[in-house]
Amino acid sequence: MAAPLTLLLIVAVTIRAVLYRSSLAELIAERVEVVSPITAWKRVIEGLALLDLGVSPYSGDVFHETPLIIYLFHFLVDYAEITFMLADVITAVALYFAVRDYNKKVFRKQKFALEADRYPHDCLELIRRPKEMFYIPLKVAMFYLLNPFTILSCVAKSTCGLNNAVISLFILTTIKGNVLLSAVFLCLATYQSIYPLTLCAPAMLYLMQHQFIPVNFRRVSFWWFVTQYLFMFLGSLLVLTCLSFFLLGSWDYMSSVYGFILSVPDLTPNIGLFWYFFAEMFEHFRLFFLCVFQINVFFYTIPLSIKLKEHPVFLMFMQLAVISIFKSYPTVGDTALYLAFLPVWGHLHRFLRNIFLVSCVLLACSALFPVLWHLWIYAGSANSNFYYAITLLFNVAQILLVSDYFYAFLRREHHLTSGLYLKKKDGSEATLVLK
Amino acid sequence: HELWEAVLPLIVLLCGGGQLKDDFQEELVIRPLHSGDIYASFHFRTLWETDFMKGNKVSHYRLFPKSLGQVISKFSVRELHISFTQGYWRTMQWGQPYLPSPPGAELWVWFQDTVTDVDATWKELTNVLSGIFCASLNFIDSTNTVQPSASFKPLGIANVTDHRFLRYATLPREIVCTENLTPWKKLLPCGSKAGLAVLLKSEKLFHSSFHSQAVHIRPMCQDSQCKTPSWELRQTLNVVFDLHTSGQGKQEWSLFKMFSRTLTEACPLASSSKIYIDITDNPQVGEQFELIPATPLLRQAVVLGDRRTFSVYDLTQQVTFGTVRSLNLLIRWKSTEGHMLRPLLHAERYVAGYGLQTGEIHTLMYNNHPFRSFSVLLLDSVPWYLRLYIHTLTVTSKGKDNKPSYIHYQPSKDRIRPHLLEMLVQLPPHSVTEVTVQFERALLKWTEYTPDPNHGFYVGSSVISALVPSTVAMDTNNTQERTLFSSL
């Protein structure tokens, strides 16, 4: 599998290199769907220029990256394009190996279940075959690298690419079973944008499954593992924050980075839900709605973890999707990360109900974003309502996609335990509904 | 005994008059401009030997207005400069003004170093001034106030120049009207009842191309020992009347045509009351224009680095008013030739770009001196909702990069303070220097838009401070005999 992967990497790098050299690069770097106030390359350059002028980059309201990013790009600013292409390559390769290991595990588990004859006889067509599972890692890497969202994000030099690389390394180390590295990479991802914190739960669930620790609140081993993981996570977070303090000599970055992500003062339009809402609401209610919106991102962890505690990797996918839909400044780069996982659940296609609608809406919205932006900003014949309508539609389509996959996954699990053709008590055909 | 009786009233007079040593002078300078317009500049100065500081309550006010005296002592103000301007000064057509001022309202204040909380004092001061001048200066808050680090050095005597005590704010959207003129006139000792202030009638003054009224308060030295400070209050009013709208197209100006009033007497409280007409472009009497009534008095003064000649009308002399007991100066043109001396330094500023997202601010500075280069200090204060990207700042002269030797940049904080950019730029001789910086607009909350947002957003003027080399050496002697308009 090395040869097709290498070929894919070469093709992806070529496409990005060609786009970097064209005049489209500047155009893409200004698009608000691709860059946000926390990930824009223009702001990274601005932060470096402020540092050169002797002014702290965090004294103004333009720069919202972490000090480690300043430190990294202080040395790599001339090689920025290579850095971002490398980040994309690392993400794709990490996802490739992660999915390959995950598939091996899934297949092994399925084999044991077949031998133990735990599946009902009429659902043998739902069993996965090695032949179909062989190409899934390559498909995942392809879905990530050749996704137009990822290409746009890379050409715009959005630091979201770096965040994606760290998250994918976290996924790889979690699936490999390495507790320490998993905590370290998760900490790096959380340090850059707070939301990957919610990935703690699936990581812990997976590692406990890997180490055969039962997930039971009454068992000491469960709490002991949780304590270990959290200790490693919080320890590395402490190390990183102190390192950032020593890099620039002050704690300004905390309010500029984390205060900014949580309190959303900058209302630059993006593909998320926050900007228009906060531009139009009464000041009196601002804090209330801010809390509601932020809690919304973190809240889904608990019910989803309870429901999906046997399937932590699917939980990880759901969490990634929830983060990239509901975070305060999302970009298409965040969407691209969870869309890369779709081939892993390609076998659910017979249970998906809305896939045609969702794909049409996503394509239409992606096409309408630049049109309505132009009408609002340049032609002056539309206003922010038009653009927000498309934003809402885009997010609704994403939510529908994720919930559809959730339904399909749960339905397949149900069929695997209670047979493919369901019958009600009186013998007539039953249908499954997701409540 | 007779000697004693003669001396006694003199002693009484000296003792009585020695309590309040204040002095009021008024001047009107009229300068015909080459485009046919006419520039009238009023200067009123009250000089008072007193000390507002050191805790002694000053309660007996004579010529100095009490409202301003109380402002100075309550807020520990060392210098105060406020101006209200309507219109745009066209330097290329009109030359340099005696005192430049940006459109809208501008206020800059140096506080004494005894002030502990400068920001709170500034806020109270702006509100009090808003009441005194009937202007909406209460809109000055932290989002449009800056603390310049190098510009706006004190114009009066100063011991310490710690820029912590300096505040500068502009309100470019502020309009000037009769409501602002009336309280301004009330600060004058004679009000608008006698003297030159009689000419200040709003229906004519605001029917002009440019109107600017200002108040400047600063501490001064009376002599070279400088034992006691004296406080100077200067009120200036600059107005440019347009040839076609006010002059009905005929190049013939008179006091009645400009102000719809004539002068009948000087202000009795004024120690000097004069009118100066700039006749430098009229070396032979009657060649370009003639003055009616003629006057034998002439005066030479160095104004803005240029030696100018003025005809003087002294209103304290009864002979000026003639037999009709009223003075209506008439300036009648014979020919319309003549070229204007190009101003050595002038600047332009505009916004480039299209769309609601990004743009670029261009500032052009012209150095018209044939062989000398000089440095200028450029101060830019941009509102927070136009996010400047300082890495896009370029300074080019004659097509080549011109790196400023000093840059002080304070980035803005959303909804708290504006951008402040100060640069020291060397202007090469006979060249244009262009300073460009890109900005990106922020999406404002619905409560943050000004009324009528389709009108657009105003960015305050940038301020250029420069020492322009002149062809005439400055006279640094005792400034007692200088005219008012050449000594600020």
**pLDDT by residue (tens digit) across A164-219?**
999 999 999 999 999 999 999 999 999 999 999 999 999 999 999 999 988 888 88
What SS3 class is residue A129? coil
**Out of B354, B411, B415, whose CB is closest to A60?**
B411
Q: Does the distance separating the beta carbons of B358 and A266 come in below 8 Å? A: no
Residue A269, both tokens: 């339009």
Which residues sit opposite B345 in a β-bridge? B367
Other C-beta atoms lying within 10 Å of the C-beta of residue B419: 23
* Averaged pLDDT for residues B306-312: 85
**Out of A60, A268, A377, whose CB is closest to B412?**
A60
* Residues of chain B in Cβ contact (below 8 Å) with chain A: 354-358, 384, 387, 389-391, 407, 409-415, 419, 442-447
State what percent of residues in chain A have pLDDT above 90.
Answer: 81
List, by residue range, all CATH 2.60.40.740 domains of chain B. Answer: 345-466
Render pLDDT for B106-147 as a digit per residue (tens, 0 to 9).
999 999 888 899 999 999 999 999 999 999 999 999 999 999
Distance CA A70, CA A77 (A): 10
Strands B386-397 and B400-401: antiparallel
Residue B15's pLDDT is: 43
Distance CA B437, CA A314 (A): 49
Confidence of residue B12 (pLDDT cuts 50, 70, 90): very low
User: Distance (Å) from the C-alpha of residue B82 to the closest C-alpha of chain A?
Assistant: 29
Distance CA A139, CA A165 (A): 18
The residue type found at A236 is S
Rg (CA), chain B: 24
Distance CA A244, CA A253 (A): 8
User: Distance (Å) from the C-alpha of residue A378 to the closest C-alpha of chain B?
Assistant: 4
Residue A124's pLDDT is: 77
**Out of A267, A268, A283, whose CB is closest to B447?**
A283
Are B140 and B171 in contact, with CB atoms under 8 Å apart? yes
Are A387 and A371 in contact, with CB atoms under 8 Å apart? no
Q: At residue A428, does pLDDT exceed 70?
A: no
SS (H, E, C) chain B: CHHHHHHHHHHHHHHHHCCCCEEEEEEEEEEECCCCCEEEEEEEEEEECCCCCCCCCCCCCCCCCHHHHHHHHHHCEEEEEEEEEECCCCHHHHCCCCCCCCCEEEEEEEECCCCCCHHHHHHHHHHHHHHHHCCCHHHCCCCCEECCCCCCCCCCCCCCCCHHHEEEEEECCCCCCHHHHHHHHHCCCCCCCCHHHHHCCHHHHCCCCEEEEEEEEEEEECCCCCCCEEEEEEEEEEEEECCCCCCCCCCEEEHHHHHCCCECCCCCCCCEEEEEEECCCCCCCCCCEEEECCCCCEEEEEECCEEEEEEEEECCCHHHHCCCCCECCEEEECCCCCCCCCCCEEEEEEEECCCCCEEEEEEEEEECCCCCCEEEEEEEEECCCEEEEEEEEEEEECCEECCCCEEEEECCECCCECEEEEEEEEECCCEEEEEEEEEEECCCCHHHCCCCHHHCCCCCCCEEEECCCCCCCCCCCCHHHCCHHHCC
A62 close contact with B: CB closer than 8 A: yes
Of A370-384, A411-425, B47-61, B89-103, which one has max mean pLDDT? A370-384
Comparing alpha-carbon positions, the chain B residue that sits nearest to A282 is: B447
Q: At residue B18, does pLDDT exceed 50?
A: no
A48 close contact with B: CB closer than 8 A: yes
Render pLDDT for A360-384 as a digit per residue (tens, 0 to 9).
999 999 999 999 999 999 998 999 9
| Chain A interface, best mutation among B390, B416, B419, by max A CB count within 10 A | B390
Residue from B239, B248, B251 nearest B89 by CA: B239
**Could you tell me the CA-to-CA distances from A249 to A70, A192, A252, B238 in Å, in that order?**
13, 19, 9, 52
Residue B4's pLDDT is: 55
Render pLDDT for A65-123 as a digit per residue (tens, 0 to 9).
999 999 999 999 999 999 999 999 999 999 999 999 999 999 999 999 888 888 887 77
Q: Which residues of A353-391 are buried (b: 16+ CB within 10 A; e: fewer)?
A: eebeebeebbeebbebbeebbebbbeeeebebebbbebb
A376 close contact with B: CB closer than 8 A: yes
Are A159 and A342 in contact, with CB atoms under 8 Å apart? no
Confidence of residue B14 (pLDDT cuts 50, 70, 90): very low
* Averaged pLDDT for residues A308-315: 93
Render pLDDT for B414-433 as a digit per residue (tens, 0 to 9).
999 999 999 999 999 999 99
Please name the residues in contact with B191: beta carbons below 8 A apart, sequence gap of 6 or more: B185, B197
* Averaged pLDDT for residues B382-406: 93
Q: Does the distance separating the beta carbons of B390 and A61 come in below 8 Å? A: no
User: Distance (Å) from the C-alpha of residue A56 to the closest C-alpha of chain B?
Assistant: 9
Distance CA A43, CA A40 (A): 5
What are the backbone angles phi and psi of residue B429, rounded to the nearest 5°? -65, 145
Q: Does the distance separating the beta carbons of A42 and B443 come in below 8 Å? A: no
Comparing alpha-carbon positions, the chain B residue that sits nearest to A278 is: B445
What are the backbone angles phi and psi of residue A266, rounded to the nearest 5°? -90, 125
Residue B8's pLDDT is: 52
Domain boundaries, chain A: 1-348
Instruction: Among A11-15, B185-189, B470-474, name the one with the lowest average pLDDT.
Output: B470-474
Of A229-238, A406-415, B29-38, B247-256, which one has max mean pLDDT? A229-238
Distance CA B149, CA A120 (A): 81
Interface of A with B in 279-318 (CB under 8 A): 279-280, 283
Q: Residue A116, class by beta-carbon neighbours within 10 Å (0-12 exposed, 13-18 middle, 19+ buried)?
A: exposed
Q: Does the distance separating the beta carbons of B443 and A275 come in below 8 Å? A: yes
Q: At residue B70, does pLDDT exceed 80?
A: yes
Please name the residues in contact with B248: beta carbons below 8 A apart, sequence gap of 6 or more: none
Torsion angle in degrees (nearest 10) through CA of B466, B472, B476, B477 = -160
Q: Does the distance separating the beta carbons of B446 and A50 come in below 8 Å? A: no
Q: Does the distance separating the beta carbons of A378 and B445 come in below 8 Å? A: no
Q: Does the distance separating the beta carbons of B447 and A62 come in below 8 Å? A: no
User: Distance (Å) from the C-alpha of residue B256 to the closest C-alpha of chain A?
Assistant: 50
Distance CA A336, CA A150 (A): 6
Distance CA B307, CA B341 (A): 12
Distance CA A330, CA A160 (A): 9
Q: Does the distance separating the beta carbons of A45 and B391 come in below 8 Å? A: yes
A53 close contact with B: CB closer than 8 A: yes
Sheet holding B330-333, edge to edge: B252-254, B330-333, B289-292
Render pLDDT for A317-364 as a digit per residue (tens, 0 to 9).
999 999 999 999 999 999 999 999 999 999 998 889 999 999 999 999
| Higher pLDDT among residues B289 and A31, named by residue | A31
For B345-466, CATH gives: 2.60.40.740
Q: At residue B257, does pLDDT exceed 90?
A: no
Confidence of residue B292 (pLDDT cuts 50, 70, 90): confident
Distance CA B345, CA B373 (A): 11
DSSP state of A429: B
Are A198 and A323 in contact, with CB atoms under 8 Å apart? yes
**Out of A53, A269, A384, whose CB is closest to B390?**
A53
**Could you tell me the CA-to-CA distances from A398 to A44, A299, A394 in Å, in that order?**
29, 18, 6
Residue B478's pLDDT is: 43
Q: Does the distance separating the beta carbons of A266 and B414 come in below 8 Å? A: yes
Distance CA B253, CA B251 (A): 6
Q: Does the distance separating the beta carbons of A49 and B442 come in below 8 Å? A: no
pTM recorded for the entire structure: 0.89
Confidence of residue B13 (pLDDT cuts 50, 70, 90): very low
Comparing alpha-carbon positions, the chain A residue that sits nearest to B386 is: A62
Distance CA A374, CA A379 (A): 6
Residues on chain B touching A50 (C-beta within 8 angstroms): 390, 409, 411
Confidence of residue A232 (pLDDT cuts 50, 70, 90): very high
Q: At residue B1, does pLDDT exceed 70?
A: no
Q: What's the mean pLDDT when you consider all of chain A?
A: 92
Q: At residue B161, does pLDDT exceed 90?
A: no
Q: Which residues of B203-217 are buried (b: 16+ CB within 10 A; e: fewer)?
A: ebbbebbbbbbbbbb
* Averaged pLDDT for residues B172-190: 92
Residues on chain B touching A46 (C-beta within 8 angstroms): 389-391
Comparing alpha-carbon positions, the chain B residue that sits nearest to A383 is: B356
Residue B153's pLDDT is: 87
Residues on chain B touching A48 (C-beta within 8 angstroms): 391
Distance CA B290, CA B294 (A): 8
**Could you tell me the CA-to-CA distances from B163 to B149, B168, B170, B342, B384 in Å, in that order?**
6, 11, 18, 34, 22
A265 close contact with B: CB closer than 8 A: yes
User: What is the complex's ipTM, to 2 decimals?
Assistant: 0.87
Which residues sit opposite B303 in a β-bridge? B306
Q: Does the distance separating the beta carbons of B445 and A280 come in below 8 Å? A: yes
Q: At residue B50, does pLDDT exceed 70?
A: yes
| Higher pLDDT among residues A270 and B480, named by residue | A270
